[in-house]
């Protein structure tokens, strides 16, 4: 301000001089205006810089707070649960390998769950493949020739197998990960939960095989001892990406105890991207095995071919003439 005041006084003193002094006055006034504008701009720039700096500090603080929360498995689970509500479809791929001595048994099960909570599952085991469709509380199997059979009430199937779970329900079932140890690896989060007793093992099975509780309960009856771990991987969008289990079991078979190793690799993908699963009309109208057998029993004998009937008439006519 002092500099601007001196410049103003100088301009007034030079006003009574020659024409050249008028030019000096204009120059002085321009300088004054320029200096004032520069000063304002500097103040504004300083204010904007301070504002941006404060915003950046707030963002960094928020990120630091988030990172601090993510270090806790319980807080991570709550974040996963929060995000799961917006996911209306998903895909799972499950590969389970069971080893007993030198024998190895592998099953693969890939499932797509659509927006209407319909699902298509492809099951592979012992070099055989089976396709299952779940909709409207029905379970329908596709058989040879593109035909379908309703197996909803098959007594050999575990209870709850027709219950299609939303992704949110899957996350709720995986609450078991809250008890794990968390670490960050390549921008993703790994949570490892170890177990060394039947109770914790059952919790793990219920979480990664949600919807199959009756089957899990049945399997638990013959387990004598168990230990192992399950490792969950959560991506940077807080979506479940995989759950890998590694278990060593002692199982009672008759009068003997058999040691088994079981490993499962479960992958979750296509969160919210599956879309609508169209169910074929043949599947919607599928009959049960019992119904098909009844239909076959009650169906009348096929009529003879018309040409056969004519031949029979001619033979009868000839016999009469003779």
pLDDT tens-digit map of 178-200: 989 999 999 999 999 999 988 88
- Residues 267 and 271: their CA atoms lie apart, in Å, by 11
Please give the pLDDT value at position 125. 86
Please give the pLDDT value at position 15. 32
Of 70, 65, 16, 60, the closest CA to residue 183 belongs to 70
- For residues 155 and 231, the model is more confident at 231
- Is the distance from CB of 113 to CB of 101 less than 8 angstroms? no
Adjacent-strand bridge partners of 195: 228
- Residues 156 and 50: their CA atoms lie apart, in Å, by 71
Kindly tell me if the per-residue pLDDT of 222 is higher than 90: no
The distance between the two most distant Cα atoms of the chain, rounded to a whole number of Å, is 159
Residue-wise DSSP of 223-282 = EEEEEEEEEEEE-TTS-EEEEEEEEEEEEEETTEEEEEEEEEEEEEE-TTT--PPPPPHH
Pairing status of strand 287-288 against strand 256-269 = unpaired
Kindly tell me if the per-residue pLDDT of 283 is higher than 60: yes
Its pTM stands at: 0.68
Could you report the per-residue pLDDT of 79-128, keeping only the tens digit for each?
999 999 999 999 999 999 999 888 999 999 999 999 888 999 999 988 88
Kindly tell me if the per-residue pLDDT of 12 is higher than 50: no
Termini Cα distance of the chain: 145
Could you tell me the two tokens for 288?
Answer: 């049960």
In the block, residue with structure tokens 């209306």: 88
């Amino acid at each position: 301000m002092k500099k601007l005041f001196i410049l103003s006084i100088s301009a007034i003193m030079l006003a009574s001089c020659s024409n050249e002094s008028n030019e000096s006055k204009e120059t002085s006034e321009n300088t004054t205006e320029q200096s004032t504008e520069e000063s304002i701009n500097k103040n504004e720039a300083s204010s904007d810089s301070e504002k941006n700096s404060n915003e950046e500090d707030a963002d960094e603080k928020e990120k630091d707070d988030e990172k601090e929360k993510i270090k806790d498995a319980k807080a991570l689970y709550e974040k996963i649960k929060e995000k799961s509500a917006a996911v209306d479809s998903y895909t799972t791929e499950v590969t389970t390998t069971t080893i007993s001595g030198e024998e190895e048994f592998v099953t693969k099960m890939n499932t797509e769950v659509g927006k209407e909570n319909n699902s298509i599952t492809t099951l592979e085991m012992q070099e055989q493949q089976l396709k299952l469709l779940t909709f409207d509380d029905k379970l329908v199997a596709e058989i040879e020739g593109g035909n379908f059979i309703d197996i909803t009430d098959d007594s050999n199937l575990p209870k709850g197998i027709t219950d299609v779970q939303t992704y949110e329900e899957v996350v709720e079932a995986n609450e078991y990960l809250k008890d794990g140890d968390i670490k960050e690896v390549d921008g993703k989060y790994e949570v490892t939960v170890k177990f060394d007793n039947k109770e914790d093992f059952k919790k793990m099975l219920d979480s990664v095989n949600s919807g199959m509780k009756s089957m899990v309960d049945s399997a638990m009856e013959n387990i004598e001892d168990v230990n192992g771990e399950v490792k969950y991987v959560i991506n940077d969008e807080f979506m479940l990406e995989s759950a890998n289990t590694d278990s060593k079991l002692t199982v009672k078979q008759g009068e003997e105890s058999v040691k088994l190793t079981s490993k499962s690799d479960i992958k979750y993908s296509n969160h919210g991207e599956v879309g609508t699963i169209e169910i074929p009309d043949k599947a919607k109208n599928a009959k049960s095995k019992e119904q098909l057998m009844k239909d076959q029993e009650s169906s009348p004998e096929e009529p003879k071919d018309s040409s056969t009937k004519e031949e029979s008439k001619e033979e009868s006519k000839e016999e009469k003439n003779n």
